[in-house]
Structure 1
């Protein structure tokens, strides 16, 4: 199962929580429960999408490129789609044209998936990284090591 979207959202929420302090890939990886190389690849993708930038040198790391209120989950989803095809992409399937069911499957699925994809994009566009940070804050215990960024 692909976790890129979830881990990328985790990274951005952590950066929002850090409030302008650069965060290393090691710290982000530790928080997300993944390897720093995975985080560096995702940060690179997020940087190409204009969502983060990096500060080099001692004490460097990733930072949000714009306010968390201006980054939607749809922005994150689209950034992750740049390197990986759409989960619902049925046009790349190759059903048997000689099969009655196969001949109409692609068109049928596209008709069914279209409204679901539109609804998902609308829902993701309505949620900002700042809102994710706010929701996380409701669940963080006082004194949590990750709570201070």
Structure 2
């Protein structure tokens, strides 16, 4: 199962909650429950998309490249999906053109999947990393952990 989108969102929300302080891949990996190498690869992908920047040296780490309200979940999705096949990809299939069903399957699926893809993109575009961070803060407060960074204890 592909978790790149969820982990990338986790990374960005952690960085947003950390308010401009660089965070190491080890800390991010500990929070996301994954290996630091996975985080470093995702950070590279997010950096190429212009969503994060890296600060080298002592006390270095990863920071948001732009304000959290200016990063939508659609931005995150687009950044991480480039290296993964699209769930709704039908153009690369090769149905049998001599079969009645095969001849019209691609066009039919494209027509049916189009609205679903558009709805998903609209839903992701409507949510910013700042909103994810706000939702996390709300849940932390409900759990009696106000002011605690998401996963800051590991």
Report the TM-score range of the alignment, normalised by the length of the smaller protein.
Answer: over 0.9
**3-state DSSP of counterpart to 1:31:** helix
Deviation at 1:104, TM superposition (A): 1.2
The separation in 2 between residues aligned to 1:25 and 1:109, in whole angstroms, is 40
Partner of 2:119: 119
Q: Does the 8 Å CA contact 1:13/1:129 hold for their aligned counterparts? A: yes
Supply the RMSD in Å over aligned alpha carbons: 1.6
Partner of 1:9: 9
Partner of 2:84: 84
**3-state DSSP of counterpart to 1:53:** strand
Partner of 2:56: 56
Deviation at 1:146, TM superposition (A): 3.9
The separation in 1 between residues aligned to 2:65 and 2:51, in whole angstroms, is 5
TM-score (norm 2): 0.91
Q: Which runs of 5+ in 1 are unaligned?
A: none
The separation in 2 between residues aligned to 1:88 and 1:148, in whole angstroms, is 33
TM-score (norm 1): 0.94
Q: Does the 8 Å CA contact 1:23/1:61 hold for their aligned counterparts? A: yes
Partner of 1:95: 95
Q: Which runs of 5+ in 2 are unaligned?
A: none
User: CA-to-partner distance for each residue in 1:38-70, whole Å, 9 max, x for gaps?
Assistant: 100000000000000001111111100000000
**3-state DSSP of counterpart to 2:53:** strand
Give the count of matched residue pairs: 149
Q: Does the 8 Å CA contact 2:10/2:32 hold for their aligned counterparts? A: yes
**3-state DSSP of counterpart to 1:63:** strand
